[in-house]
Amino acid sequence: MTSSLLLGITTFTYLLATLCFVYIFVFKAYRVYSFAIAVTSIALVIQTAGIGLRWYESYAMGIGHAPLTNMYESVVFFSWTIALLYLLMEWKFRTRILGLFALPFAFLAMAYASFSTGISKEIAPLVPALQSNWLIAHVITCFVGYAAFTVAAGLGLMFLLKIHKSGGEKKGGSQQLLAAIPAPDLIEDLIYKSMLFGFIWLTAGIITGAVWANSAWGTYWSWDPKETWSLITWFIYAITLHSRYTRGWTGKPLAWLAILGLLSVIFTYYGVNFFLSGLHSYGSG
C-alpha cells in the first residue's frame, strides 16, 4: 500500500463520479445523484488517506515534510481542495448539477498528476529555503483560493450555457437538458460568493508569501514573475468584486470574468514555472 497507489485509485474514482454526473445530466436520472455524491466523497476520503500516507512516507525516508512542496504534491492538493470545496458548496446550496462542471477539474488534475511523464512523483528532500512553517500556510491559503476560483469558473460555464441556450427559441431535447441547470440568478450569486471566498484566501496566500519572503530574503515583494502573476490574478478578482456596483457588469460579464480569472490562475500556477524564469522555478507551483 503506497501513497501513489491510493492516489491512482483516487484518479479513477473521480472519473467515475464525473461520469455519474454526465449520466444524470444526459438522462435526467436524478435518482443517481446520491450515488454520485457518495462516489465523490469516497474519492475524497481515499485521496486524503493518500496524501496523509505520502506525508508519513517522507518521514519514513528521513526527509519528513508536508506533502506540498513540488508540482506533483501541489496538483494533488489542488484537486483535493476542489473536491472538498465542491462538496461543501453542494451541501450548502444543493445545485445538484454543479458536479458536472466542478469534478472534471478535480479529475483532470489527478490524471495529470498521476500519469504525466513530465512531473516527478519522487519524495525529494527540501532545500533549506523551503524548510519553514510558512510553506504550509502559504501553499494552503493559495490553493484554497485557486480551488474556489476553479469552482467559480465551472459555475461561469454553467451560467453561459444556461443563458445561451435559453435565449433562443429552441424546442425539444436541448431545452429539457438545460432545465437541470438552476436559474441564472442563483448561479450568478454562487459565482460571486465563490469568487469572494477565493479572493480572501488568495489575499492571505499572497500575504503569507510576502511575509515568508521577507523572513527568508529580506524582501516582501520583488516583482518576480510568480509574484507578479499572482497579483494580476488578484487584480482580476478585485475587479469582479466591484462588478456589482457597476451597471452592465453583472450577469454574462461576470461569468466571463470567472473564466478569465481561472486562465490567469492556471498561468500563475503552472505557466510561470514552465514559460518564464525566476525565483519560483522550484517547480513547486
Partner 1 sequence: MKQTNEVWGFFASVRLAIFTLCSLALTSIIGTVVPQNKPDSWYVETYGPATAQFFQVLDIPDMYGSWWFLILLGLLSANLIICSIDRFPTAWRLMNADQLAIHPDRLQGMAQRQEWSLPTPVGDSAAQLGATLAQAGWKSTSREIETGTLLFAGKGAWSRLGVYVVHISILVIFVGAIIGSFLGFKGTVMLPEGESTTRIFAFDSSTPIDLGFEILCDSFTVDYYPNGMPKKYASVLAVRDNGREILKKTIEVNQPLTYRGITFYQSSYQAYKDFIVSIVIGPDKVGKVFTIPYQQEMEWPEKNIRFGIVNAEGMGDRVTRIKIWMKHGDQTASTFWVDNGKDAAIPSADKTITVSAKQMFATGLQVAKDPGVWLVYLGCCLMLIGLYVAFFVSHQRLWLLLRPGKDGAGTSVLLAGAGSKNQSGFARSFARLAERLQGTHP
Whole-angstrom Cα distance, residue 76 to residue 92?
25
Question: Is 179 in a helix, a strand, or coil?
Answer: coil
Cα 117–118–121 angle (5° rounding)?
75
Name which of 171 and 242 has its Cβ closer to partner 1: 242
Minimum distance of partner 1 from residue 196's CB (angstroms): 6
CA-based nearest residue to 57, from 41, 73, 81, 75: 73
Separation CA 19–CA 100 (nearest Å): 8
Give the span between the Cα atoms of 231 and 63, in whole angstroms.
33
Residues 246-285, one symbol each (x = binds partner 1 by CB under 8 A, - = not), give: x--x----------------------x---xx--------
Residues 159-188 that bind partner 1 (CB under 8 A): none
Alpha helices in 116-246, H assignment, sequence order:
133-167, 173-178, 184-217, 225-242
Query: How big is the site for partner 1, counted in residues (CB under 8 A)?
Result: 42
Interface pattern 225-244 for partner 1 (x via CB under 8 A)? x--xx-xx--xx-xx--x--
Rounded Cα distance, 73 and 182, in Å? 35
* Closest to partner 1 by CB, 45 or 279: 279
User: Cell digits for 257?
Assistant: 470574468
Residue numbers 64-123 binding partner 1 by CB under 8 A: none
User: Cβ(17)–Cβ(103) under 8 Å?
Assistant: yes
Q: Is 223 in the site for partner 1 (CB under 8 A)?
A: yes
Between residues 12 and 93, which has the closer beta carbon with respect to partner 1?
93
Which grid coordinates belong to 44?
A: 475524497
* Smallest separation, CB 124 to partner 1 (Å): 8
- Per CB under 8 A, 60 contacts partner 1: no
Quick one: 7 or 71, whose CB is closer to partner 1? 71
Residues that bind partner 1 (CB under 8 A): 63, 125, 127-129, 131-132, 134, 196, 199-200, 203-204, 207, 210-212, 214-221, 223, 225, 228-229, 231-232, 235-236, 238-239, 242, 245-246, 249, 272, 276-277
